[in-house]
Amino acid sequence: MPDRPIVEDPMSADLAWNEDDAPFSSRFGDIYFSAEDGLAETRHIFLEGNGLPAAWAGKTDFTIAETGFGTGLNFCAAVQLWLETRPRDGLLHYVSIEGFPLNADECFRALKHWPELEPIAKALRGRYPEPVPGMHRIHFPDWGVVLTLAIGEAGAVLSGLHGRIDAWFLDGFAPSKNPEMWREEVLSEVARLAVPGGSLATFTAAGAVRRSLAALGFEIHKVPGFGRKRDMVVARKAPDSLGRQATLSARAVTIRERSRLDRVAIVGGGIAGASLVRALRRRGMDPVLYDGAGPCSGASGNAYALVTPRMDAGDSAVARFFAAAYRYAIAQYGEGDGWDPCGVLVMLEDEEALVRAGKAQGFAWQPAASGSLLDRAQASLQAGIDLECPGLFYRSAGLLQTTHLIHDWIGPTTVIETDIDRVSRTERGYSLLDSNGDIAGEADVVILAAGDGNRRFADTRWIPLTPVRGQVSEVPATDAGHALKCALSWSGYLSPVRDGRHMLGATNDRNNKIGDDWGWVVLEEDHRHNHENMPDYLTHLVDEPNASWSGRARLRSATPDRVPLFGAVPDVAGLANAFRNPAGRGYITFPDGDLLILGGLGSRGFVTAPLAAELLVARLLGEVWPVEESLGITGDPVRFASRAHRHARIEEFLG
Ligand code: SAM
């Protein structure tokens, strides 16, 4: 999604408040909602205009999309109606696009006019994201509501949106004051995303808008507007208009009813498996988790994980995925108990690192943009100890108590402590087989989330995954070490003292020097490596490695491009199809196979797994994706085959 200067300006909404304390946009010279009664207006135009609540009656999933989130009034009104009339086990997806975001307090101030909305407005304020460009997914699990707030210019956001919209709320200031919002490119995306038979409502009855919508396959009706407005428009996407939206996005969507997908198996009980369980359980589903040694026995089971953004100096889909994943992860962790946002100071040890940090700060979507660039003295003050270089301080980053979180997310899910060695296709789905070839379970969909264990399956053998040994040292605190206030990160990292010790990490070994035990045996040599890798000016914080040091070692699983794997694992025929795909996007749509993977997380699993899991589950269920399409396909395993194909090495690649 290209950024536009409008969304990078924090004052971009140019908000003013009139004498009734109602918001007004000086930029557009227009009001956010009717001066008479905004809530009544919303109900008339958007809720009744889209035939709600009748339109969602009896549906398990219903998706509303809105152009112009503004204060969140339409969202709150829709949620209020949903809570009164919610179908059994129903999930409401509400997608809203906003180019000039208000902040949480401004939304709340505007919504104060309606005390009846207060519980919803408060919940929104509590979870409202930092209004930075990109998509933000916010869950209200108790209500069966998922809000996807997409911050960016409407046309750009919509072209990257992936999903099926049942009802549109077109609410982007009057066409005469804001023609940008009503231009052909925007409305054609509205039509592309609308399901056949889906509805649309808008306050405007402008002729140009009506004509564009009609040309795009909507049946238009002029109906009485709200208050003094004579007309407004409601419309329905012609049920036979599928041909118009036969884009890849539309084809890529499988419609699966959650209630009919009751056998989902997840192999692996680390952060990948736990994130998948959580995403499924939030939708009322009940997967089964398989892990031979039980949850947290692999690389995710270190006592603490450092959760810190990846700093990319450029603007790529991968960089944006990592940024979105970081934002999503810390929002999820912040809702639980084991999250310790102590802050992380990334040490900028040379000129090159400093330049990269400066570049990263130039992108409003980068977590670095809200990080503080500190000179040496400021960095020392922040850290509580003397440092010898400047740093980039991420206030929102921190330490996670991993096992606490993983057990919490797995909750009451059935865990079967059997190592799965093979998955074989059956008529209805898959059998999961143990090392003796005995059937340990059956499922319609299997998601491999077993870290390094993902390599053992016949179907994944073509995916280039490498085991990487990582040992973290747990180092007793000294008096000097207690002064450290935040975590420090260089090519290694040091945590502040927790439970009387520092976490000092971590090794990264791709070569097995020690034989069978190499995955988990703790080595003194690796403690020494972690110590020697510390910058000299930090070594006084800990003693030399000695017998009081303990640690934990496990194998992580890495991909050659350091981007995780999230997507379908095709069989060879599916693979051949994918890289021959003339659309060239090179990703597998799920109807081609229900064997999925979430892996190759390297050392950043606690950053990427929650969003990747949410995306996989959204794709599986044909829901709106939580990220733009270009970001959502970055993890597709098929990329390796496509690359080999491009370099005429596909035969060799598939071996
Ligand atoms: N639905 C909102 C509510 O419930 O408060 C009111 C929406 S207000 C009338 C229109 C919104 O559209 C504003 O928040 C404005 O910033 C946004 N907007 C205008 N032009 C836009 C564009 N080109 N892209 C994205 N958002 C835009």
Confidence of residue 178 (pLDDT cuts 50, 70, 90): very high
The strand order across the sheet containing 218-224 reads: 134-140, 145-151, 91-98, 61-67, 165-170, 194-202, 231-237, 218-224
The tens digit of pLDDT for each residue in 318-352 reads 999 999 999 999 999 999 889 999 999 999 999 99
Confidence of residue 401 (pLDDT cuts 50, 70, 90): very high
CA neighbor of 654 nearest in space, from 579, 554, 602, 598: 579
Q: Is 343 exposed, middle or buried (0-12, 13-18, 19+ CB in 10 A)?
A: buried
Question: Which residues form ligand 1's pocket by a CB distance below 6 Å?
Answer: 13, 32-33, 66, 68-74, 97-100, 153-154, 171-173, 178, 180-181
Once rounded to an integer, what is the mean pLDDT over residues 225-230?
92
**What pLDDT shows up at residue 262?**
75
Give, for ligand 1, the residue of 67, 76, 147 to mutate: max count of ligand atoms closer than 8 Å to Cβ. 67
Q: How far is the CA of 52 from the centre of ligand 1 (A)?
A: 22
- Protein residue with its CA nearest to atom 8 in ligand 1: 32
Q: How far is the CA of 626 from the centre of ligand 1 (A)?
A: 20
Q: How far is the CA of 273 from the centre of ligand 1 (A)?
A: 38
What's the N-to-C CA distance of the chain in angstroms?
A: 37
**Two structure tokens written together for 35:** 């001066």
Q: How far is the CA of 71 from the centre of ligand 1 (A)?
A: 9
- Protein residue with its CA nearest to atom 27 in ligand 1: 99
Q: How far from 478 is each of 30, 473, 482, 488, 499, CA to CA, in Å?
A: 61, 15, 7, 16, 13
- Protein residue with its CA nearest to atom 14 in ligand 1: 70
User: Does residue 249 carry a pLDDT above 60?
Assistant: no
User: Does residue 525 carry a pLDDT above 90?
Assistant: yes
Q: How far is the CA of 550 from the centre of ligand 1 (A)?
A: 55
Name which of 150-159, 255-264, 458-467, 544-553 the model is least confident about. 255-264
* Cα separation, 146 vs 139, whole angstroms: 5
More confident site: 495 or 644: 495
Q: Which atom of ligand 1 is nearest to the CA of 77?
A: 4
DSSP letter at 293 equals T
Query: Is there a contact between 210 and 175 (Cβ–Cβ < 8 Å)?
Result: no
pTM, 2 dp: 0.95
Which residues are registered as beta bridge partners of 631? none
Q: How far is the CA of 225 from the centre of ligand 1 (A)?
A: 19
Q: How far is the CA of 196 from the centre of ligand 1 (A)?
A: 26
Confidence of residue 239 (pLDDT cuts 50, 70, 90): confident
Q: Which atom of ligand 1 is nearest to the CA of 110?
A: 5
Q: Which residues lie below 8 Å from residue 372, measured CB to CB, with a gap of 6+? A: 378, 382, 392, 393, 395
Give, for ligand 1, the residue of 14, 17, 69, 151 to mutate: max count of ligand atoms closer than 8 Å to Cβ. 69
Q: Which atom of ligand 1 is nearest to the CA of 72?
A: 4
What is the number of alpha carbons within 13 Å of residue 128 lying toward its C-beta?
22
CA neighbor of 129 nearest in space, from 147, 155, 141: 147
Q: How far is the CA of 439 from the centre of ligand 1 (A)?
A: 55
* Cα separation, 325 vs 602, whole angstroms: 14
Name which of 463-477, 561-575, 625-639 the model is least confident about. 561-575
CA neighbor of 166 nearest in space, from 195, 130, 128: 195
Average pLDDT, the chain: 92
Q: Is 315 exposed, middle or buried (0-12, 13-18, 19+ CB in 10 A)?
A: middle
Q: How far is the CA of 564 from the centre of ligand 1 (A)?
A: 35
Once rounded to an integer, what is the mean pLDDT over residues 3-18?
62
* Cα separation, 320 vs 363, whole angstroms: 10
Q: Which atom of ligand 1 is nearest to the CA of 75?
A: 4
Once rounded to an integer, what is the mean pLDDT over residues 532-545?
96
Q: Which atom of ligand 1 is nearest to the CA of 154?
A: 24
Q: How far is the CA of 139 from the centre of ligand 1 (A)?
A: 22
Express as a percent the part of the chain with pLDDT over 90.
82
More confident site: 1 or 67: 67
3-state secondary structure 156-224: HHHHCCCCCEEEEEECCCCCCCCHHHHCHHHHHHHHHHEEEEEEEEECCCCHHHHHHHHHCCEEEEEEE
- Protein residue with its CA nearest to atom 17 in ligand 1: 68
What is the number of alpha carbons within 13 Å of residue 389 lying toward its C-beta?
20
Query: Is there a contact between 553 and 470 (Cβ–Cβ < 8 Å)?
Result: yes
CA neighbor of 539 nearest in space, from 502, 509, 507, 508: 502
**605-620 helix and 271-281 helix, angle to the nearest 10 degrees:** 40
DSSP string, 357-406: HHHHHTSTTSHHHHSEEE-HHHHHHHHTS--SS-EEEETT-EEEEHHHHH
**What pLDDT shows up at residue 14?**
87
**What pLDDT shows up at residue 586?**
57
Q: How far is the CA of 553 from the centre of ligand 1 (A)?
A: 51
Q: Which atom of ligand 1 is nearest to the CA of 98?
A: 26
Give, for ligand 1, the residue of 173, 176, 177, 190 to mutate: max count of ligand atoms closer than 8 Å to Cβ. 173
User: Does residue 254 carry a pLDDT above 70?
Assistant: no
